[in-house]
Amino acid sequence: MQVTVLGSGAAEAIPDPFCRCVVCEAARQRGGPEMRARAAALVNRDLLIDLGPDLVSAANRMRLYLGDVESLLITHRHSDHWLPGNLFWREPGFAATPVAPLTIYAPRDALTDLQPHADRATELHVQAVTAGDRWRAGRYEITAVPATHGEGELEALLYVIDDGTHRLFYATDTSLLSDAAWEILSPLGPVDLVLLDETSGLGTGGSGHHGLEKFLITRSRLLESGVMGADAVLVAHHFSHNGGLTHDELVTRFQPYGVTVAYDGLTFDLSASPA
């Protein structure tokens, strides 16, 4: 399994073009991993997690072709993760070559945003999913896990993706996991890679995100519960400039815990032999 981080930032990206905070100014001056597009990830070349506003620029910057994507997982309805208009670019008249049939798996409320685009969609199928669902999508077994993302009616999901050899737990836009989430996670067995929300940096994360303190609490429970084995890779992901830490500062903070800090273009090859 190969996992590519297409974007590692929160809703306003880094830098926020309207902000001159220390983090945003550092990103403008240094570039590189300090620059963060809105969060999305590509698994192998056929499964995409989230379809946000930076998808086109991220794929082009990384020289990635997305026409082979057969499965699209939407975490929740917020516009930094779900911009259905991006589906236009795979349609005849925009794309000059055929694309693979695409199935979108998303919370039911997110799928309502697809209706204005559904009439002209080519090779497009949809399936509403909710927490606790488990299904096959091509070579993958996917399990939906409830996120803790605010107190509104919006449904937000995390996903465990199993290709038969490796498991990814993609867990962005969540605060501390609920008991219901742990009840779904624990029986699945250990995962090999976790991308975990750390939006708020030194902040608390409120009711919808992790800050550093919550991140370390979740890390401990992942290890204690056996959801994450000793050899698993834990990645801090989905950062806001309002967390107050540059990429370099995040690396310094997380180094004692063996945590990798995500950046745009970071790729994990779980099939590779250890060096």
Residue 98 lies in a domain: yes
Whole-number pLDDT of residue 122: 76
What average pLDDT does this structure show over 223-233? Answer: 94
Task: For 155-164, write each residue's pLDDT tens digit.
Answer: 999 999 999 9
Whole-number pLDDT of residue 215: 98
Task: For 99-110, write each residue's pLDDT tens digit.
Answer: 999 999 999 999
- Quote the percentage of the chain above a pLDDT of 70: 96
**Tokens standing for residue 239:** 């950062």
Ordered alpha helix ranges (H), the chain: 22-30, 55-61, 108-111, 115-118, 179-185, 212-225, 247-254
Whole-number pLDDT of residue 153: 79
What average pLDDT does this structure show over 261-269? Answer: 98
Strand order of the β-sheet with 134-137 is 134-137, 140-146, 157-162, 167-171, 191-197, 228-237, 260-261
Whole-number pLDDT of residue 34: 98
**Tokens standing for residue 43:** 């698994």
Residue 274 lies in a domain: no
Give the count of domains, the chain. 1
Residue 139 lies in a domain: yes
pTM here is 0.96
Range of the domain at 71: 2-269
CA distances from 135 to 73, 82, 194, 234 (A): 12, 21, 20, 25
Report residue 38 CA to chain centroid gap.
Answer: 9
Residue 275 lies in a domain: no
For 48, list phi and psi in degrees, rounded to 5: -120, 135
Whole-number pLDDT of residue 116: 66
Instruction: Assess contact for 72 and 51: CB atoms under 8 A.
Output: yes
Residue 273: which pLDDT band, with cuts at 50, 70 and 90? very low
Give dist(CA 251, CA 95) in Å, integer. Answer: 39
Whether the per-residue pLDDT at 261 is higher than 70: the answer is: yes
Computed over every residue of the chain, the mean pLDDT equals 95
CA distances from 80 to 33, 38, 124, 231, 273 (A): 19, 6, 21, 32, 35
Higher local confidence (pLDDT), 121 or 51: 51
For 165, list phi and psi in degrees, rounded to 5: -125, -40
What average pLDDT does this structure show over 61-76? Answer: 98
Whole-number pLDDT of residue 230: 83
Q: What's 264's domain CATH number?
A: 3.60.15.10
Whole-number pLDDT of residue 243: 97
Whose tokens are 């800090």? That residue is 261
SS3 content of the chain, % helix, strand, coil (to 5): 25, 30, 45
How does 247-271 read in b/e, with b if 16+ C-beta sit within 10 Å? bebbbebbeeeebbbbbbbbebeee
What average pLDDT does this structure show over 171-192? Answer: 97
Residue 260 lies in a domain: yes
Give dist(CA 83, CA 110) in Å, integer. Answer: 10
Look at residues 158, 139, 153 and name the one whose alpha carbon lies nearest to residue 49: 158
What average pLDDT does this structure show over 69-98? Answer: 95
Give dist(CA 40, CA 179) in Å, integer. Answer: 26
